[in-house]
Amino acid sequence: MERVAVVGVGSTRYSGAQEKTEVELFAEAATEAIGESNLKPADIKALFLGNALGDFNEGQGMLQAYAADNIGCRNIPANRYEGACASASMAIRDAFIWVASGFYDIVLAGGVERAATMGTGLATRTFAMFSDARYEYPAGVTFPAVFAMLAHLYADTYKIPLPKLREQMARVSIQSYNHGSVNPKAQFFTKNANMPVEKVLGSFVVAAPLTLHDCCPFSDGASAVVLASEAAAKKLTDKPVYLTGVGQASGGPLVTQGDFLPRLRAREISSRQAYIMAGLTPQDIDICELHDCFSIASLIAAESLGFFEYGKAGEAWEKGEADIGGRVAVNPSGGLKAKGHPIGATGAGQVHEIVKQLRGEVEPERQVEGAKNGLTDTLGGDGGTLVNLILQRGW
Amino acid sequence: MERKLIFKDYNEALKQDRLLGLKCRDCGAITLPPAMVCQQCSGKDLEVAEMKGSGKIRTFTTVFVAAEGREDEVPYIIVMVELDEGPWIMGNLDGVDPKEASMELIGKKVKMGHKVFPGDKYSAGESASPLFSLDG
C-alpha cells in the first residue's frame, strides 16, 4: 500500500444562507486546494465529492459531474458520497484507498452543502431523513431530538444531575464559540466570544434540554483536499501531511443501538481502526476536530475516541483539558458549533483545519503549538455512519 | 429467503395496537424493528411474535422546533422505551404536559397505543407509530 499525503487544502468561509450555487462554492474550495498543491486541474485523476442533500438544497442531483467539469477537471471519473453529515469524510476515505492502492496518484476530494439556504423547516425535515423513515420519523424525531434524548440518557447513565450536565454542555459551546470567533473561515467569526453560561442555558429550547446555543447552525459552504501518493507528494510540497489511519463503520437505526447508548458503537469501531492503522493511541493525538453537532455530542465523542473516561468529559471541558493547551485541543476551528456545519462538506472542513494546524498556518490565537498528530471524527445520522481520519505531519 | 415480516404488515398490526416483532428460534432474542435476520445472532430462523406493548421509559425529549409540515404538532414528547421483551422502540408520550416533562419520566412504566403519521410528500405513505401512556 502506498503512503498517501494531503498536498493541498481549500475552503470557502462557512456561512448562513448565501447566493452562490453548490457548484460555485465547491469550485472555489477546489481551485484553492489545487492551486495550493502546485497542480493544474488536468493533473487530477478523479473526484470524490460529499454532498448529502443537493437534491433538496437546490434541486440538483449528480453534482459531482458538473463540479468536475466546472473546475476544468474534464471527463474524469467523479463519484458522489451520501453519508449524511459524514459524506465528505467518506469521500476522503475512499479517495485515500484508491491512492493507497496505486490506482490513482493524485485525486481531489471534498464536499459541499447549502443547508442554510433550505431554511429551518426544510432543513429539519431533510436532516430527519437520516433517521429511520418508517420506524422513527413517524414519532416526529428530529436531529436535535436525537441528541436531546442522548443528553437525558447520558445524565441518567452516568448519574450526573441534569443541571450540572447542562452547565458542562454550555462550557463546550462557549469554548467552541471562542475558537470560532477568531477563525475567519467560521460562520460565527467575530461573534459570540466569551458567552456567559447563563446565556447558553437561557436561550430558547429546541428540543429539551438542548437550547439554541447547544446546537450547531445550518450552514452553506464547501471544502476540498488534494491527496497524492508519497512519490507525487514529494515533488509537490515540502510540507506533506500524511493520512496514516482511516476508519469507517456503520450502525442500524438508533433504537437498535439501545443497549450501547449513549455511546455510539460505530464510533468505537471506526476510531479503533484508524488508531491501529496509524500505530497511535489516543494519548498521541494533539488536536482533534470532532463532530459537535450538539454540545452533548462533543462529550459523547471525546469519550469514545479515548480522550476521557466515560461520564467524565464534561469535567475535562470545565478544567480546560479539551482546550488549546490542554490534554488534547478539541475543535480549535470552532467546530460545527461555531465554524459551521454544511453537512456534505463538514469532514473536509475538519481535514482542512488539521492540515492548516499541523503546518502552523492558522491565526495565532487558535494555533496549537507543535502539533504533530491530528484526528478527525465525523458522524452521519445517529450512529449510522462514522468516519475517523488520522493525519500526521510529514516533515 | 422469504422475509417473515414486512413494514406493511407491521404497520397494519400497529394500527390495531398490536406490536409485532420477530423471535429468533436459535437464540430467543427479539428483533424489532423487523429485519431480515436476528439482530442478536444474525440467525435466519425467525417467527413473528406479538409484543405485550409494555415497557419502561429509558429516555425522552420535548420537541419545540418542528420539521416542515409538522409545525402544528409541537410541543410533543418523544420517548425511547425498553420493551419488557428487550428491544428499544421510539414513540410519543401521551397524557403528560410536554412542557412539564422531566428526568422523573426515566424508568416509568408505560403501555402502548398508537397514532398514525399520515405521511408527507417525501414519505411514501402513512406510518403508524407507538403512542405510550404512563402505566399506573
Neighbours of B34 (CB within 10 A): 20
ipTM: 0.98
pLDDT of residue A203: 97
B13 Cα to chain A: minimum distance (Å): 14
Per residue in A156-168, is it b (16+ CB within 10 Å) or e — as a string? Answer: bbbebebeebbbb
Question: Is the pTM of the predicted complex or chain greater than 0.95?
Answer: yes
Per residue in A92-130, is it b (16+ CB within 10 Å) or e — as a string? Answer: bbbbbebbbeeebbbbbbbbbbbbbbbeeebbbbbbbbb
What are residue A151's phi and psi, to 5 degrees?
-65, -45
**Catalytic site includes residue A288:** no
- Which positions in chain A touch B56 (Cβ < 8 Å)? none
Whether A227 and A92 have beta carbons less than 8 Å apart is answered as yes
State the Cα–Cα distance between residues A171 and A349, nearest whole angstrom: 23
Cell of B73: 404538532
DSSP code, position A38: T
pLDDT of residue A44: 98
Give, in order, the Cα–Cα distances in Å from A303 to each of A164, A265, A293, A307: 18, 12, 16, 6
DSSP notation for B13-53:
HHTTT--EEEEETTT--EESS--SS-TTT--S-EEEEE--S
User: Angle at Cα A298 formed by Cα A54 and Cα A258, nearest 5°?
Assistant: 85
Cell of B120: 408527507
- Residue-wise pLDDT for B34-46, tens only, equals 999 999 999 999 9
Which of A125, A204, A258 lies closest to B68 in CB terms?
Answer: A125
Which of B61, B73, B82 lies closest to A258 in CB terms?
Answer: B82
What are residue B113's phi and psi, to 5 degrees?
-120, -150
A286 Cα to chain B: minimum distance (Å): 34
Which one of B82, B90, B114, B132 makes the best mutation probe of the A interface by having the most chain A beta carbons within 10 Å? B90
- Which positions in chain B touch A255 (Cβ < 8 Å)? 32-33, 80, 87-90
State the Cα–Cα distance between residues A89 and A34, nearest whole angstrom: 18
pLDDT of residue A9: 98
pLDDT band with cut points at 50, 70 and 90 for residue B17: very high
Candidates A217, A58, A122, A134; CA nearest to B68 is A122
Cell of A95: 479517495
pLDDT band with cut points at 50, 70 and 90 for residue B1: confident
Please indicate whether, in this complex, the C-beta atoms of B33 and A255 are within 8 angstroms of each other.
yes
The pairing of strands A106-114 and A220-229 is antiparallel
| Residue B2 confidence (pLDDT) above 90 | no
Q: Given the C-alpha cell 425467525, which residue does it identify?
A: B46
Cell of A361: 498556518
Show the low-confidence residues of chain A (pLDDT under 50): none
pLDDT of residue B136: 78
- Residue-wise pLDDT for A177-190, tens only, equals 999 999 999 999 99
State the Cα–Cα distance between residues A202 and A153, nearest whole angstrom: 22
State the Cα–Cα distance between residues A317 and A151, nearest whole angstrom: 16
- Residue-wise pLDDT for B73-99, tens only, equals 999 999 999 999 999 999 999 999 999
State the Cα–Cα distance between residues B62 and A278, nearest whole angstrom: 42
Whether A208 and A193 have beta carbons less than 8 Å apart is answered as no
